[in-house]
Amino acid sequence: MSIRVLAIGGSLRRGSYNHLLLEQAQRQAPQGMSIEIADLSDIPLYNGDVQAQGFPASVQRVAEQAAQAGAFLIATPEYNYSIPGVLKNAIDWLSRVPGAPFQGKPVAIASASMGGMGGARAQYHLRQVLIYLDVHPLNKPELFISAAHEKFAADGELTDALSREGLDALLAALAAHTHRLQGREAVAVAVAA
Ligand code: FNR
């Protein structure tokens, strides 16, 4: 069965290395996996008063994409040792929408940073934040793209061989994790029937 992945980037910047990483994932997607990139650029700051008037169209759009997805891929920068507000804000909105579109689904996490640690600290914060959504993060492999400015070419291609291999391994593991979880779901339905 084909796996539909919703990719979410933590940076709105034109030329974002994390966005380039998601586009690279689209090019490197294994057979049987399609990757769509979510647009977080028009999601307003979370405000309970706004929610009380109805979820913004931008949030509903991403929630619908999440509901249609069988798996997720998040690529985030590290901002001050954590995840950027853009990503946290989107997660905050999406955690409030009815239907829990993330629940029970797998997520692979990656990060790209110009620094030497490749965004590792942000990834571990992200794992904590994702607990409430009840997604199932891949533990391994971990993918940290350090010195990102040296690993992407001017045309946006990820040229570093080790990083490309790491991305291949991450996507393959996400596919296997998705099939494992979907298999469990099928067994649970069969047992309940
Ligand atoms: C950063 N950057 C950064 N890098 C890092 O490795 N650890 C950090 O804590 C931070 N903190 C930080 C805070 C803020 C406000 C900014 C703007 C930047 C650098 C950051 O990782 C780098 O700019 C990345 O290239 C940003 O990701 P995108 O936009 O290229 O995807």
The predicted-structure confidence for 3-17, as pLDDT tens digits, reads as follows 999 999 999 999 999
SS3 readout for the chain: CCEEEEEEECCCCCCCHHHHHHHHHHHHCCCCEEEEECCCCCCCCCCHHHHHHCCCHHHHHHHHHHHHCCEEEEEECCECCECCHHHHHHHHHHCCCCCCCCCCCEEEEEEECCCCCCCHHHHHHHHHHHHHHCCEECCCCCEEECCHHHCECCCCCECCHHHHHHHHHHHHHHHHHHHHHHHHHHHHHHHHC
Pocket test for ligand 1, best of 41, 79, 151, 152 (most atoms within 8 A of CB): 79
Residue 183: what pLDDT?
87
Q: Which CATH entry fits the domain spanning 3-192: 3.40.50.360, 3.40.50.980, 3.40.50.1820, 3.30.2230.10?
A: 3.40.50.360
The predicted-structure confidence for 109-167, as pLDDT tens digits, reads as follows 999 999 999 999 999 999 999 999 999 999 999 999 999 999 999 999 999 999 999 99
Residue 87: what pLDDT?
98
Domain residue ranges of the chain, discontinuous segments joined by +: 3-192
User: How remote is the CA of residue 121 from the centroid of ligand 1, in Å?
Assistant: 12
CB 82 near ligand 1, within 6 Å? no
The predicted-structure confidence for 52-110, as pLDDT tens digits, reads as follows 999 999 999 999 999 999 999 999 999 999 999 999 999 999 999 999 999 999 999 99
User: How remote is the CA of residue 114 from the centroid of ligand 1, in Å?
Assistant: 7
Q: The whole model's pTM is what? A: 0.95
